[in-house]
Structure 1
């Protein structure tokens, strides 16, 4: 499974909102500038996140976006599914021979487990403690 820029940038938006939670809304312009990303592209991503009730918009001169729920209640899996669709490493595994089907299901379940047990709270706090090692995933 390959996560596209939609998923990667969507995670960036959500982590930035989590880092600023409680400090008022954050504009996409600020997120784009801080992360050297296209504001126009971020605008395309925030719509599905808003429709999925992961973010809420605030209108006005000092408007922007806030998390719709606490960072501890939003997982990386929630975000990836909204922007990328179902988590499947291989299409059509139901047509594979049983041994390969079992392998692909184990890979899928491992990826789902990582995404569904990693919250925005985890991601926003990661790196705050210099003793923490970067996330390393081995499949």
Structure 2
């Protein structure tokens, strides 16, 4: 869910900034965006906790999948394209292709670091994360 938020939040804010041009309206739009995000996070946690306490863990997945299906259906039916004719294409060659392997390597290094905290207990040397983190930084 955090990864989804990392993709969705900047995207929705940039859409708001480009669509709403008047300063006062932009402030109101960002206020509404922040309020709905906060309510969504709170309600999502409460609903997920209730589902986990009263049903099984798959009910959370089914609820999220149903919500996503409804959101995509409404999006396809209501939202029109807003891309300008002079808008450049997304640069996938240098951006996503270069950054994502480094981020994945960093996550593996951090996860390995957690595992290495128990290294003296399980007999391993505990040096694996250093290689991942060095490769990420370079």
TM-score between both structures, scaled by the size of structure 1: 0.26
Q: Larger relative CO (CA 8 A, sep 6+): 1 or 2?
A: 1
More helix by share: 2
Bigger CA radius of gyration = 2
